[in-house]
Every structure is written in C-alpha cells, then in structure tokens.
Amino acid sequence: MRVARKCGFRASPRASCFFIGYLSLIASLVAIGFHVVIVFIVTSGFQCDVSKESLRAVQWKWLDPVVGLINLGNHGFYPFPLSFHYYNNIPIDYMPITENQPACYPGMLHLQIIDILYFLVNAVWLKFVLAFVGAVHKKDPEPIRMFLVMSTVKLAVQLLDLSFQSSFGNTVVLTSFKIADICIATLYLVLIKKYITYLRIEMARKDVDQPPSYIECLINGPSTKVDEKKDVFFIIEEKKTEPKEEQQQ
C-alpha cells in the first residue's frame, strides 16, 4: 500500500472494486464473444466437423495477445484454461482431420465437448461477475465475498498451472505473462478484501447508531406494572319500621 500511495493511487475501495468488476465484465464478454465466433467459423455454423481449411480461417495472430491482455489479472477464465490456443497448439498439417469438405449434420447442433465446457465455465463466471458488480452498486458484502472466494480458487488453479507446467510450449514470454497475471490478481484480491471489511464496519456502525424500532422497544423495554382496580362494594342495611299499632300495644 505504501508503494501505491507513492505512485499516487489513492482510489477508494469502492472505486477499485468498480474498476475490477467492470474490467472483469468486459473481459468475460470479449472471451465468450470471440469463442462463439471462432467455434461458429470452424464448425460452419455449429453443424459440421472441424477441417484444416476451417482452422486456417481463424489463424489470427493478434487474437491471443489481445484477449490475454484484456483478461490480465482480472480473474477471467482466459487464458487459464485457454479458449482458443488449443487450435494453434498443433500444426494444422499434422492434425488427423480432413482437409476440406468435412462431414456435416444439417439441422443438428454439432459441437465438441471441450467447446461446450469452455462456454459453460465462462458463462458461470460471467454470472459471478454480474453479481459482483451489482453488489458493489448495492453495497452488499455477501456477493462480493462469494466473488472473492471464487477468485481465490481461480488464483490457486493458476498457481498450480504455473508450478506443474511443462517446458513444451511455455516460453519465457508466456511464463512472464502468467507471473504478471498472478501478481495483479493477488492485488485485486487484497483490494476486494479491503472493501468487504469496510462494508462490514459501516453496517456495524449503522446497527449501533440506529435507534430501535417501536416494536423492539415494546419487546425489550421494562415491563410496566398495571394497577389492579379493586371493586368496592357498599352494603346498605335498611331498617324495617314497625307499625305504630304494634308499638302502642
């Protein structure tokens, strides 16, 4: 935090979470959008097998760096797992698929299982991101805490990937990118945790400062003694007057 202050970064915890949330939202939408577009192209509208000709149509060298930079540090599920890199990992000429005119299945949704899994994982992550952004707006700490837990799990997966990665295909540039992604993701986690603590302190202050409601006063207040009214009965005795004749006798 001292380094951040020296560099001039004095944004509030809420503003930092807004930045993290909207950056994650943009990255998730970009990753899902590009993934759907590429799968649509290589499968000829989600109904054909992948061919070498369709794979050559999506050999965009700018795609992986652009999507990787957008997702840098924002806990997105790109590039861990990679959404597009597996198409470029093996030279197309050596892949055991047809050159052109692949088998098609008109009227059917024909997709590979790995593409379906990538889409589902990114869709679930997008739901967590939307809940996180909404919680920052509403100042609700519980969805933010859930996003923090999922981001921590995601960071643990990235650390395992970095620890057990093979030397094949992992250049110095790619390893440096992974390390930078982990460092930025850790900084984001610290900022999110700081905002959760801030929200809980604010909620505790409101609970203390807010006066109790009328019903709570009736329930928790001292019991009032009700004076019992005693009914007083007056007995009036009537004296019987004897007749005058009887008195004279």
Rg (CA), the chain: 37
Q: Which two tokens stand for residue 228?
A: 């019992």
Closest-CA residue to 29 (of 21, 19, 17): 21
Q: What is the pTM of this model?
A: 0.70
**pLDDT per position as a tens digit, 172-193:** 777 888 888 889 999 999 999 9
What pLDDT sits at residue 130? 95
Residue in the structure block whose two tokens are 């050596």: 94
Cα end-to-end span (Å), the chain: 123
Which residue has tokens 């709570």?
216
* Model pLDDT for residues 46-79, shown as the tens digit of each residue: 888 888 787 778 877 787 778 878 888 875 555 5
CA distances from 9 to 2, 3, 70 (A): 10, 9, 21
pLDDT higher at 19 or 108: 19
The C-alpha atoms of residue 151 and residue 148 are separated, in whole angstroms, by: 5
Could you report the per-residue pLDDT of 135-157, keeping only the tens digit for each? 999 999 999 999 999 999 888 88
- The secondary structure of 133-180 as a DSSP string is HHHHHHT-HHHHHHHHHHHHHHHHHHHHHHHS--STT--HHHHHHHHH
